[in-house]
């Protein structure tokens, strides 16, 4: 009889264990192969679908999107020219020379950067033409990026709401526009913020806005007028 040591049967054959492991591996491989064969059409279909999506994406980017972006940028210059001449109505609809106005560019190229910027131009144009609701509509559709454009978007929205007499919303946008450190723009919108607070007879906050201009932006155009606004608000608040 074979001796046992520490409860282990020394008659066990390591070769048998190796055979069992090998059999298990072969069976697992066969099961995997059978599963692949059974689902081969589905797998190939999924892979082909992914390949089609990848090809379609790159085709859209290079054959559709990029050419459309270039086309949109090239047709907008005449509308921009009219805008710079303060011919806002022409810039919106008929800038001349058979070129599209900002409204057509938004309609035809809305998904391009040029179509996006056209919304800002259209918003400012409507603001100058006195159609403040249209101005707000296009400004809100404008996706502002970078350091300067978000300030200009919020500030112009503040102007539009101010013209409508909605000073609560005007103040909200002016405050957003002044959360920056652009000397020219921030000082200008701080001045408009102070004026909006004056319209609400909130002279304490108006004074704070004017004093901020004097402290932070004394060399700006608004800074040169800050003492005048401070004196005016102080006189009214002191009554």
The model's pLDDT over 16-60, given as tens digits with 9 standing for 90+, comes to 554 554 445 445 445 545 544 555 555 445 545 555 555 444 444
Task: Check residue 236 and give its pLDDT.
Answer: 84
pLDDT grade, residue 235 (50/70/90)? confident
* Euclidean distance between CA atoms 99 and 109, whole angstroms: 14
Domain extent listing, the chain: 41-142, 144-239
Which pTM was predicted? 0.71
- Confidence check: pLDDT of 169 > 60: yes
Averaged pLDDT for residues 150-163: 97
Lowest-confidence pick of 17-26, 118-127, 176-185, 196-205: 17-26
In CATH, the number for domain 144-239 is: 1.25.40.10
């Amino acid at each position: 009889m074979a001796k046992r040591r520490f409860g282990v049967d020394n008659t066990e054959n390591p070769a048998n264990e190796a055979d069992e492991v090998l059999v298990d591996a072969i069976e697992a491989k066969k099961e995997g192969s059978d599963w692949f064969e059974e689902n081969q059409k589905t797998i190939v279909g999924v892979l082909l679908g992914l390949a089609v999506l990848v090809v379609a994406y790159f085709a859209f980017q290079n054959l559709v999107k990029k050419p459309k972006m270039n086309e949109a940028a090239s047709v907008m210059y005449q509308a921009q020219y009219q805008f710079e001449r303060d011919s806002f109505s022409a810039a919106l609809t008929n800038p001349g020379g058979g070129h599209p106005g900002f409204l057509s560019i938004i309609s035809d190229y809305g998904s391009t950067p040029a179509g996006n910027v056209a919304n800002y131009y259209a918003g400012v144009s409507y603001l100058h033409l006195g159609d403040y609701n249209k101005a707000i509509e296009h400004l809100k559709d404008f996706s502002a990026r970078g350091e300067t454009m978000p300030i200009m978007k919020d500030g112009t929205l503040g102007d539009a709401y101010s013209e409508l007499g909605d000073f609560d919303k005007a103040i909200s946008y002016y405050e957003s526009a002044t959360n920056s450190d652009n000397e020219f723009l921030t000082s200008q919108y701080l001045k408009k913020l102070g004026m909006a607070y004056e319209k609400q007879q909130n002279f304490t906050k108006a004074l704070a806005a004017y004093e901020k201009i004097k402290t932070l932006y004394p060399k700006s155009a608004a800074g040169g007028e800050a003492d005048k606004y401070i004196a005016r608000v102080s006189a009214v608040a002191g009554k």
